[in-house]
Amino acid sequence: MTKSLSASLLQPRVHLVFGGARSGKSLFAEQTAMKLAQGGKQMIYLATAHGNDTEMQARIAHHRERRSAHWATVESSLELGAAIMTHSRADNIILVDCLTVWLSNLLFSVPQEYPEIGQIMPPAGFAIQRQALLDALAQAPGAVILVSNEVGMGIIPMGAVSRWFVDEAGRLNQAVAAIADSVVWVAAGLPLVLKGQPC
């Protein structure tokens, strides 16, 4: 086995980068993608956010301004697993930003009222789309970097739907981390490698 082939087999394929709000996780994920793309690989930014209000539009614009023209942008607010399988190739890098926005999209994909107390029943397609994402990460031929928020380290939120969201975000992070070759926690712009090797 040649040295280059051996190195390519050892290169992490699925990366999870997570942390709190404004922790620097998205910037770190973008820098990781650029390192992996050295040698001419295409970089695809798979955006999960809707620009439904001025605040979100400003956040999206900030991220776009930071990225170079080398990025291709694909929007996927619900069928994230299908989008990864459609666009992933051995010669490209996909960056998903972010999982927790996608999780929120799934929760509110069907108009319905959620109780303040009691059990939360997610939309019918929730479990299907969640499993499709995990299957895609196991099967995608190219590198995939996923950005996610850690939302479970603060005060337990009021309202059943908020508590459900925190629980499901934590479960999703655990499931993705179990599949990922590399897991990095980012705090105050500083990365801490929890699993695998840094790029």
Q: Give 38's DSSP letter.
A: T
- pLDDT tens track for 95-124: 999 999 999 999 888 887 877 888 888 888
The domain ranges of the chain are 13-195
How large is the average pLDDT for residues 163-177? 95
CATH of domain 13-195: 3.40.50.300
How large is the average pLDDT for residues 146-163? 89
Residues identified as active-site: 63
At 110, the amino acid letter reads: V
- pLDDT tens track for 56-100: 555 555 555 655 567 999 999 999 999 999 999 999 999 999 999
